[in-house]
Structure 1
Amino acid sequence: MKSHARVVVVGGGVMGVGLLYHLALEGWTDIVLVEKGELTSGSTWHAAGQCPHFNGSLNMTKVHVYGTQLYPQLEKLTGQAVSWHGCGGLRIATTDEEVNWLKQVYGLSKLANYEAHIIGPDEIKQYHPFLNTDGIKAAFLTVTDGHVAPADITNAMAAGARKLGAEIYRRTLVTDIKLLKTGEWQVVTDKGNITCEHVVNSAGSYCDVVGSWTGHNVPIANMLHHYMITEPLAALIELEKELPVVRDPYSHAYLREETNGILVGPYETATAHVCWDGKPPAWDFESELVPPELDRLTPWLEKAAERFPLFGESGLKNIISGAITHTPDGVYLSGPAHGPKNYWMHCGASIGICQGGGAGKYLAQWMVHGQAEINMREFDPRRFGNWATKDYTTEVSIADYHHMYYCYKPAEQHQVGRGLRKSAIHDKLAAAGAQFSQIFGWERARWYDKTGKGEAYSFKRSNWWDAVKAECKAVRERVGLMDLSTFAKFDVKGPDAYAFLERICANRIPAKDGGIMLGHLLNENGFIESEITVTRLAADHFYVLSAAAAQLYDMDQLCWRLKQGERVTIADVTDDFGVLVLAGPKARDVLAACTKADLTNASFRWLTGKEIEVAGVKGVRSLRVNYVGELGWELHVPMKQLPTVFDAVMKAGAPHGIQLFGTYAMNSLRMEKAYRGWGSELTNEVTLVEGDMERFVNLDKDFIGKAATQRSKQQGARIKLVYMTVEAGNNDCYGNEPIYQGDKLVGITTGGAYGHAIGKSLTFAYVDPKLARDGEAFEILMMGERHKAQIAPQPAWDPKNERLRG
């Protein structure tokens, strides 16, 4: 056994082996995989091997599509036989909203470049003559996906990795992982220790245990999942072509042909539970199954027999019942763990066979090159914080399992595992009708419902429309108040704090106390990692803000960029401050009634901040900046005293018609101002030049990513962000809609909203730079229909920022 390696991957399932293979393909060959049993002996070997293309996420779709392109070629690439069944698939829709979902995903199929068609019930028989089409409104037909034998692709990728120089140690139990003083990791096994630069937790059902050795929280649940295979049927033996895999929301199951029989795998919508009473499996648990529980599956099996009557006419041959890992949001964990560098997660996949190849490819790119070619944020383990406790993870993972084939509409979320993080005025907002969504554990108001009915979720404009319109008009015409306590907040202090921030930010750090700037942290390739707002409170004290979902991510971005010897401390103060956004033409009048501070332009200019006393509360960090494009302030108040300031502002605002507003209105208002969003317009896939953000780059100083930013500017952008008006119907751009000129695909939207103040639907999009001309016309495919769009020359609202400076 090696004593040193560049990378050690812990776990020999499809995820770990897929990563090993792709690291070797990227040129890293001093790599090792350690597996306590045989390859695939955890949950991989008993998986059904489904490889679907249908998915509501573009980046996840790219992961899936890569797998279905790789697996048929693996035998040729590695010399290891692979049983690939490219039979295609049918995703059934039984409601109008499910049909809308098919239409949305159809747009993604164009961007991900796989063949798909939406067909009616009468056409289904051409592809699946045995399916009962009662209650079916439409189906999503995919042509090039299918299913594969899990052990085949895992062993093939292992063979390929070995040929490229990787080593695999089977029957070797990892018992501990330690961080050394050198910054390296030591992997302790029963056959010796390996010191490495990078360690990867790909331990499948054991990944939470392995993570606990180094203090990492790994939110996974081992769900019990069944599928069964019938005896061979004459009707299937006689078929010339294999039937497509069916995914049916009525029976909440996948149904397919398997060795001339029928395979049915239900995701029960009730009674699902974790394996082993939530405890980790024993270390000697390998290629074993869990006792089946067919009785409680009867309701879903009966529905499966209705949908696929042949299933009810045949006897069962095999029953597979085993553990599959599941995260609270159903998305695997892949990326850096929070804390010391070079500890990577690559686990938690519930559809791991399909995802193993693509997940390995894109994480390998991230590890080797510092970034992947797709946006990895939805896979990043740091999307969960310590609020994702074991109880939370179990409860929400079960709910997610129950909803595997449920059609979640935009903004719709699980209703379990809620109320984990609340601002101090949460109950006051709830009493006012706040409709909350969960973001990084926080409850944050989307909009305010005075009817008491709550939101009717839909792919189209719904019952929130008029309420959000009123909220937007209140901000534009009078004054609005929003709770944005969810901001990630950091105090960066020390004698070297200014020089540190200057070195890591592309923009110039304020040189005077009270200055505020918008900055971006880039990687060495010049691509955008983070967007932060920096306020200089003193020469050695800077207040840094970023997105709620980026709390752990940006803490790492800051800490990992520190150089040895720099006299800087970085403290996460997110929970210490609540935040009120007061914005609108009357904002100064309202705040003036609550403070003795001078709020005039002469004393308190736009893009400045200072500590003032508000409603008797001292130490309120007041920043004259906001994301809605109006005169206003962000009031960062000690969290315990937030109710005092909130009540005072609401009282002072009553004569001016103050109104609470939420994130739906904020999105509409920011789109009118053409403000970019981190994670939508600004991602690790683009440079600041491509994101049309050059005004936030200062090339007169050195910063991380400067050389690459200059190259992007000199060589010309690959793509360019543009701002457009859209002739929308009853829905607006969500993001990831394809853009056409004639029959040519020329771009992709990043997000959008209806601008209530200007009466137009708006979107951002990336297009070929040659097409980024004012007035250039396009068509956007939205919900199956093309809508005309045109590039706008300037922000739709207050393009000269006169209202902000008022």
Structure 2
Amino acid sequence: MKSHARVVIIGGGIMGVGLLYHLALEGWTDIVLVEKGELTSGSTWHAAGQCPQFTTSLNLTRIHNYGTQLYPKLEELTGQAVSWHGCGGLRLATTDEELNWLKYVYGVSRLAGYECEIIGPDEIRQYHPFLNTFGVKAAFHTITDGHVAPADVTNAMAAGARKLGAEIYRRTMVTDVKHLPSGEWLVVTDQGNITCEHVVNAAGSYADVVGAWSGHNVPIANMLHHYLITEPVQELIDFGPELPVVRDPWSHSYLREETNGILIGPYETATAHVCWDGKPPAWDFESELVAPELDRLMPWLEKAGERFPLFNKAGLKSVISGAITHTPDGNYLSGPAHGPRNYWMHCGASIGICQGAGAGKYLAQWMVHGQAEINMREFDPRRFGSRWATKEYTETVSIEDYHHMYYCYKPGEQHKVGRNLRTSSLHERLKAEGAQFSQIYGWERARWYDRTGEGENFSYRRNNAFEAVRAEAMAVRERVGLMDLSTFSKFEVKGPDAHAFLERICANRVPARDGGIILGHLLNANGFIESELTITRLSADHFYVLSAAVAQEHDYDQMAWRKRDSENVTITDITDDFGVLVLAGPRARDVLSACTATDLSNEAFRWLTGKVATVAGVAGVRLLRVNYVGELGWELHCPMAEMPRVYDALMAAGKPHGIQLFGTLAMNSLRMEKAYRGWGSELTTEIDMFEASMERFIRTDKADFIGREASLRRKQQGERMKLVYIEIDATDSDSLGNEPVYAGDTLIGLTTGGAYGYATGKSLAFAYVSPDRAAPGTEFEVLMFTDRHKARVLPDVAWDPTNERLRA
């Protein structure tokens, strides 16, 4: 056994082996995989091996699509036999919203480049004559879907990795992982120890146990899942061609042919539970199954039999019942863990056979090159906070996610369990006002305010919230609005070197005067956008840094990892210490003046400046004259416990001015009217500042900042794409993001998201298009729900392009 390696991967399932293979393909060959049993001996060996491409997420689609392209070629590439069945797939829609879902995903398929079509019930029988189509409105027919033998593809990638120089140690038990003072990691095994630069937790069902050794929280739950295989059926033998894999939301099951028999895998919508009573599996648990529980599956099996009647005629051959890992949002974990550098997660995959190859490819890119070619934010393990994503939360929500595996979640719709983990001190007041909350990074944040008691009728189209949000947005434009935005991530950067440190890591110039505020971006070494921060200088050695709610651990790490040992700087996360109120609108100054003695005149308190003040008798309120809605206004950063006093005073002072509460839906509408970019949508690691049309926030004349030289090179090379601000001739829906953009029959780009602008009467969106289509006035079409809508590049910001209202 080697004593040193560049990378040690813990776990020999398809996720670990897929990463090993792709790291070797990227040129890293001083790499080791350690497995306590045999390869695939955990959850991989008993997986059904389905490889679908239908998914709402473009980035996840690209991961799935890569697997369906690689697996048929693996035998040729590695010399190891692979049993690939390219039989296609049928995703059924039984409601209007499921049909909308199919139509939206069709647009995603155009961007990902896989072959598919939406077909009616009569056409389904051309591909699957044995399927009962009662209640079916349409099906999403994917030509290149299939299924594969899990052991085959895993062993093939292992063989490929070995040929490239990687090493695999089977029957080797890892017993501990330690972070060394050198910054390296020590992987302790029963066969010896390995010191490495990078360690990867790909331990499958054991990932949470392995993570705990080094203090890492791994939010996974081992769910019990069954599938059944029948004896061969004569009708299938006589039919000949293999039937496509069917996914049926009515029976909540996948249904397919398996060696001339029928395979049914139900995702029960009730009674599902974790394995082993939530305890970790025994260390000697290997290539074993869990006792089946067929009695409680009968309601879904009976429905499956109605959908695929041949199932009722066949004799049962085998029952597979084993553990599959789930995360609370159904996405696997892949990326750096919070804390010391170079501990990577690569686990939690519930459909890992499909994802194993693509997941390995893109994490390998991230590790080797500092970023992947796709946006990895939705897989980043830090999307779950270490403190609030507890074991109880993980199991509760993972079970709910399992129950809803085939449920059509509409935009904005979320799980109803695992809620109220993090609330601001105003939560009960806002709830009493009709707040409809959504969860973000554990926080409850008001999405909109319902005065009817009806709640939101979630839909892919404009819904019952549309007019209520109009009232909220217009209150901000015409009078004054108040919003609780306590979900900001908040940090203090202090010390004699604080200014120099921030100047070195930010593309923009950091304020040199007390009270100055800037929008700053952290770029990676390749010049792409990693983080977006709002930085306020409170004093020469004290800066207040804000970022997105979901970036709390991500952005702390970005700052901590960039800090040099020689720099006298401390970075403190104070997110929970401060609540935030956004007061905005033409009457904002009148309202705030009634609550503070601080001079709020334009001469004394200019736009993009901040002061510490007393408001409503509460001292230490950080008043920042900045907001995300494009109106005269302030953010009031209050001690969390004191925020209700400030809120009550503002509401009372605002009553004569028609003050109204507003939520995130109105904020999104308002920010789109001002063409404000969003981190994670318009601003990602896929693009640079010039492509994002953010030139005014990058100061290449600065002596040095991380990503400067790469940014200059990229600018000289020319833009691959360009962000444009567009108006769409929409009807009953607005841009959700990831809709294809066409010029004639040529695909020229994609949207990143949008909203209806109530004050401007325009359906607005951002899109990345080829640079030759970026000029103001250029017209093209956006594909929305399989219909093309005309769109045009706007010459300027739709609302207050000269910022007169902000500066008032």
TM-score, length-scaled by structure 1: 1.00
3-state SS of 1:104 partner? helix
- What are the Cα deviations for residues 117-176 of structure 1, in whole angstroms up to 9, with x where unaligned? 000000000000000011100000000010000000000000000000000000000000
The one-letter amino acid paired with 1:118 is I
The one-letter amino acid paired with 1:62 is R
Who is 2:621 aligned against?
Answer: 620
Who is 2:244 aligned against?
Answer: 244
Who is 2:649 aligned against?
Answer: 648
- What are the Cα deviations for residues 168-209 of structure 1, in whole angstroms up to 9, with x where unaligned? 000000000000000000000000000000000000000000
Aligned ranges for residues 50-65 of structure 1 at < 5 Å? Answer: 50-65=50-65
The one-letter amino acid paired with 1:718 is R
- What are the Cα deviations for residues 766-804 of structure 1, in whole angstroms up to 9, with x where unaligned? 000111111000110001111000000110000000000
Runs of 4+ in 1 over 6 A off after TM superposition: none
Aligned ranges for residues 546-625 of structure 1 at < 5 Å? Answer: 546-625=547-626
- What are the Cα deviations for residues 69-88 of structure 1, in whole angstroms up to 9, with x where unaligned? 00000000000000000000
The CA deviation at 1:418 is 0.1
The CA deviation at 1:278 is 0.2
Provide the rounded CA distance (Å) in 2 between the counterparts of 1:700 and 1:354: 47
Aligned ranges for residues 333-348 of structure 1 at < 5 Å? Answer: 333-348=333-348
Are positions 1:528 and 2:529 aligned together? yes
Provide the rounded CA distance (Å) in 1 between the counterparts of 2:141 and 2:761: 37
Provide the rounded CA distance (Å) in 2 between the counterparts of 1:53 and 1:357: 13
3-state SS of 1:534 partner? strand
The one-letter amino acid paired with 1:199 is V
The one-letter amino acid paired with 1:16 is G
Provide the rounded CA distance (Å) in 2 between the counterparts of 1:217 and 1:648: 41
Who is 2:491 aligned against?
Answer: 490
3-state SS of 2:377 partner? coil
Provide the rounded CA distance (Å) in 2 between the counterparts of 1:226 and 1:12: 22
Aligned ranges for residues 310-321 of structure 1 at < 5 Å? Answer: 310-321=310-321
Who is 1:270 aligned against?
Answer: 270
3-state SS of 2:635 partner? strand
Who is 1:17 aligned against?
Answer: 17
Who is 1:90 aligned against?
Answer: 90
Who is 1:785 aligned against?
Answer: 787
Aligned ranges for residues 720-735 of structure 1 at < 5 Å? Answer: 720-735=722-737
Who is 1:446 aligned against?
Answer: 447
The CA deviation at 1:328 is 0.3
Provide the rounded CA distance (Å) in 1 between the counterparts of 2:446 and 2:146: 41
Provide the rounded CA distance (Å) in 1 between the counterparts of 2:624 and 2:332: 38
3-state SS of 1:627 partner? coil
Gaps of 5+ in 1: none
The CA deviation at 1:621 is 0.4
The one-letter amino acid paired with 2:740 is P
- What are the Cα deviations for residues 726-758 of structure 1, in whole angstroms up to 9, with x where unaligned? 100100000000000111111100000000000
Provide the rounded CA distance (Å) in 2 between the counterparts of 1:417 and 1:524: 38
Who is 1:794 aligned against?
Answer: 796
Provide the rounded CA distance (Å) in 1 between the counterparts of 2:407 and 2:602: 53
Are positions 1:332 and 2:332 aligned together? yes
Who is 1:773 aligned against?
Answer: 775
Aligned ranges for residues 125-140 of structure 1 at < 5 Å? Answer: 125-140=125-140
3-state SS of 2:788 partner? strand
Provide the rounded CA distance (Å) in 1 between the counterparts of 2:283 and 2:40: 15
3-state SS of 1:238 partner? helix
Who is 2:67 aligned against?
Answer: 67
Provide the rounded CA distance (Å) in 1 between the counterparts of 2:170 and 2:184: 23
Who is 2:467 aligned against?
Answer: 466
- What are the Cα deviations for residues 266-286 of structure 1, in whole angstroms up to 9, with x where unaligned? 000000000000000000000
Provide the rounded CA distance (Å) in 2 between the counterparts of 1:713 and 1:676: 20
- What are the Cα deviations for residues 298-348 of structure 1, in whole angstroms up to 9, with x where unaligned? 000000000000001001001000000000000000000000000000000
The CA deviation at 1:625 is 0.2
Who is 1:295 aligned against?
Answer: 295
The CA deviation at 1:241 is 1.1
Provide the rounded CA distance (Å) in 2 between the counterparts of 1:715 and 1:353: 39
Are positions 1:190 and 2:190 aligned together? yes
The one-letter amino acid paired with 2:117 is H
Aligned ranges for residues 684-695 of structure 1 at < 5 Å? Answer: 684-695=685-696
Greater Cα offset, 528-537 or 711-720:
711-720
The CA deviation at 1:712 is 1.8
- What are the Cα deviations for residues 682-716 of structure 1, in whole angstroms up to 9, with x where unaligned? 00000000000000011111100001111121111
Aligned ranges for residues 365-384 of structure 1 at < 5 Å? Answer: 365-384=365-384
Greater Cα offset, 708-717 or 448-457:
708-717
Provide the rounded CA distance (Å) in 2 between the counterparts of 1:456 and 1:151: 44
1:752 aligned residue (754, 758, 767): 754
**Identity between Structure 1 and Structure 2 (%):** 77
The CA deviation at 1:32 is 0.1
The CA deviation at 1:630 is 0.2
- What are the Cα deviations for residues 365-421 of structure 1, in whole angstroms up to 9, with x where unaligned? 000000000000000000001201000000000000000000000000000000000
The CA deviation at 1:240 is 2.4
Are positions 1:711 and 2:713 aligned together? yes
Who is 2:679 aligned against?
Answer: 678
Provide the rounded CA distance (Å) in 1 between the counterparts of 2:351 and 2:734: 31
The one-letter amino acid paired with 2:690 is V
The one-letter amino acid paired with 1:757 is A
Are positions 1:503 and 2:534 aligned together? no
The one-letter amino acid paired with 1:786 is R
The CA deviation at 1:239 is 2.3
Provide the rounded CA distance (Å) in 1 between the counterparts of 2:579 and 2:62: 38
Provide the rounded CA distance (Å) in 1 between the counterparts of 2:232 and 2:178: 52
Provide the rounded CA distance (Å) in 2 between the counterparts of 1:523 and 1:345: 20
The one-letter amino acid paired with 2:708 is K
Provide the rounded CA distance (Å) in 1 between the counterparts of 2:513 and 2:241: 73
Who is 1:141 aligned against?
Answer: 141
Provide the rounded CA distance (Å) in 2 between the counterparts of 1:738 and 1:580: 37
3-state SS of 1:619 partner? strand
The one-letter amino acid paired with 1:504 is I
Provide the rounded CA distance (Å) in 2 between the counterparts of 1:580 and 1:588: 14
3-state SS of 1:378 partner? helix
TM-score, length-scaled by structure 2: 1.00
Provide the rounded CA distance (Å) in 2 between the counterparts of 1:239 and 1:165: 46
Who is 2:416 aligned against?
Answer: 415
Provide the rounded CA distance (Å) in 2 between the counterparts of 1:392 and 1:508: 41
CA RMSD of aligned residues (A): 0.4
The one-letter amino acid paired with 1:239 is F
The one-letter amino acid paired with 1:601 is N
Provide the rounded CA distance (Å) in 1 between the counterparts of 2:700 and 2:62: 35
3-state SS of 1:273 partner? coil
3-state SS of 1:781 partner? strand
The one-letter amino acid paired with 1:459 is Y
The one-letter amino acid paired with 2:269 is T
The CA deviation at 1:349 is 0.1
Who is 1:666 aligned against?
Answer: 667
Gaps of 5+ in 2: none
The one-letter amino acid paired with 1:555 is Y
3-state SS of 2:807 partner? coil
Who is 1:257 aligned against?
Answer: 257
Who is 1:738 aligned against?
Answer: 740
- What are the Cα deviations for residues 546-600 of structure 1, in whole angstroms up to 9, with x where unaligned? 0000000000000000011100000000000000000000000000000000001
- What are the Cα deviations for residues 665-685 of structure 1, in whole angstroms up to 9, with x where unaligned? 000000000000000000000
